[in-house]
Amino acid sequence: MLASLSDVHAQAYPTRPIRFIAPYVPGGGVDFVARVVAGKLSETIGQQVIVENRPGGGTNIGSELVARAAADGYTLLVGGVPNTVNAVFFKKLPYDVVRDFAPISQMTTAPNILAVHPSLPVRTAKELIALAKTRRGELTFASAGVGSSNHLSGELFRVMAGVDIVHIPYKGGGAAVTDLLAGQVSMYFGTTPSTVPYVRAGRLRALAVTSLKRSRATPDIPTMAESAIPGFENAAWHGLMAPAGTPAAVIEKLHAEVTRALRLPEIIERMASQGVDVIGGTPAELAAFIKQDLVKYEKLVKSAGLRVE
């Protein structure tokens, strides 16, 4: 009988608008992915899918909102690196990334781009490292918040390059880029959607990407590993998650619809134009990936001596 009720629920779902909670201010990589996917789902799923930005607390405000929401498939989280890093950073969180969420799909992944303001007298990552060593504690790097992929890329750079640079956290990639454009910070390991347009316009100077392979969107930008720091690698990921306890049939329907959208050539091309690679994995694959990420960042945070600021 319960199985029948679940099937009926899934057949009726959705009967009202669905919210994608993006735990950042508009303008960053998470916001870009959320809006592309939400826009296509609004055309295919029979209801509007609305992106709602809930920044703050290193993504904890938006994440907790979803963790505590009704498990009915109408409030979903566009999560990522901070959801696993925060589990290491914070001794007490108002949610548990494994216990309190039902994975739907790891939608995409994207490298970060090390970009600097054009006024900074460097044109390569090696030159930046040399400058940072002569101006210890003077150069700053922005991030979309504590525990973001930008933050972790910057900290990894700090440790592996042996430089003293200062972290300046923001409430999202859009805000970080705004201050970088104004010359208020020295550098930013930005997501490709938030930085590529300004690099192409000549308003920012790109030095390296953080993936092991060059990005299809910016093939002329070298990787950090090939240009300055062998073995350097760190990337953002964007996963869709529902509150724990959401009916399995609803999770399956959401996964099917999201996967269908991500496989469309127009969506793949739009993502690729901003340096974002489509994944579209299963709920089980995202669950396993999150557990692996927890182990990965626990090691990085401890070895780098990172802490919540």
Residues 185 and 121 in one domain: yes
In a domain, 309, yes or no: no
Per-residue pLDDT of the chain (309 residues; tens, 9 = 90+): 455 455 555 568 999 999 999 998 888 889 999 999 999 999 999 999 999 999 988 899 999 999 999 999 999 999 999 899 888 888 889 999 999 999 999 999 989 999 999 999 999 999 999 999 999 999 999 998 888 889 999 999 998 999 999 999 998 888 999 999 999 999 999 988 888 889 999 999 999 999 888 888 889 999 999 999 999 988 889 999 999 999 999 999 999 999 999 999 999 999 988 889 999 999 999 999 999 999 988 888 887 777 665
Boundary (domain end) residue, out of 227, 253, 272: 227
Residue 65's domain is classified under what CATH number?
Answer: 3.40.190.150
- Count of the separate structural domains present in the chain: 2
Its pTM stands at 0.82
Question: Count of alpha carbons within 13 Å of 60, Cβ hemisphere only?
Answer: 16
Residues 156 and 258 in one domain: no
Kindly write down the DSSP assignment for every residue of 273-308, as one continuous string: HTTPEE----HHHHHHHHHHHHHHHHHHHHHHT---
Residues 118 and 215 in one domain: yes
Residues 105 and 248 in one domain: yes
Boundary (domain end) residue, out of 180, 202, 227: 227
Find the helix or strand (DSSP H, E) in which 150 lies.
Answer: helix 149-161
Residues 50 and 86 in one domain: yes
If phi > 0 it is left, if psi is from -120 to 50 it is alpha, else beta; for residue 51 that is beta
Residue type for position 105: S
In a domain, 31, yes or no: yes
Boundary (domain end) residue, out of 227, 255, 281: 227
Q: What is the pLDDT of residue 172?
A: 84
Residues 18 and 85 in one domain: yes
Residue 129's domain is classified under what CATH number?
Answer: 3.40.190.10
Q: How far apart are CA 137 and CA 262, in angstroms?
A: 43
Residues 198 and 245 in one domain: no
In a domain, 206, yes or no: yes
In a domain, 69, yes or no: yes
Closest CA to 263 of 72, 78, 108: 108
Residues 96 and 22 in one domain: yes
Q: Give per-residue burial for 133-153: e unless 16+ CB within 10 Å, then b.
A: eeeeeebbbbbbbbbbbbbbb
Give the domain extent around 21.
2-109+236-304
Residues 100 and 249 in one domain: yes
